[in-house]
Amino acid sequence: MTAGLRLAWICGGLAILLAAVAAGSLLVGAASVSPGTVLDLITGRGPAGGTDRTVVLSIRLPRIAAAMLAGGALAVAGAGFQALTRNPLASPPSSASPVERHSGSSSPKCRVSARVWWTRSG
């Protein structure tokens, strides 16, 4: 199997997995909506109003879209960071400053703001 074919299979499998998880998240939630109703609402054959329409089209679909966009943005940012640093294993321990590496903090600003909050709340 060539590298291009292997990459195509991996990307296809991940796309199928993403579609399955998105479809599953349309069906799972505090308000139970039947799969037939979800399918009718997505295809435009569902009722013009009601709780099911609000739950599926105004809550669940935007949440899924936002999660997909955020995940894609993080993937692009990670790939860009790895390309920028020319480090295929760009991780905080290998790419952080020496202060961040030993403190366990993501940035010195976090430590300062946490210290200010702790001082004012105590």
pLDDT-derived band at 94, boundaries 50, 70, 90? low
Average pLDDT over residues 38-58: 90
Q: Are 39 and 53 in contact (CB under 8 A)?
A: no
Structure-derived torsion over alpha carbons of residues 44, 48, 51, 56, reported in degrees to the nearest 10: 20
Mean of per-residue pLDDT scores for the chain: 81
CA distances from 97 to 18, 103, 108 (A): 35, 10, 10
Q: Where are the alpha helices (DSSP H) in the chain?
A: 3-27, 35-43, 51-53, 61-85, 92-95, 98-103, 108-121
Residue 97 has pLDDT above 70, yes or no: no
**Which of 8-17, 32-41, 43-52, 101-110 shows the highest mean pLDDT?**
8-17
Least confident of 34-43, 88-97, 98-107: 98-107
Tracing tokens 């976090």 back to the chain, one arrives at 110
Q: Which token pair is 109?
A: 């600003």
The total of other beta-carbon atoms located within 10 Å of residue 6's CB is 10
Query: Model pTM greater than 0.75?
Result: no
pLDDT-derived band at 47, boundaries 50, 70, 90? confident
Tracing tokens 């940012």 back to the chain, one arrives at 77
What is the three-class DSSP state of 54?
helix
In this prediction, residue 1 carries a pLDDT of 80
Least confident of 18-22, 76-80, 103-107: 103-107
pLDDT tens digits for range 61-91? 999 999 999 999 999 999 898 888 887 675 5
More confident residue, 101 or 52: 52
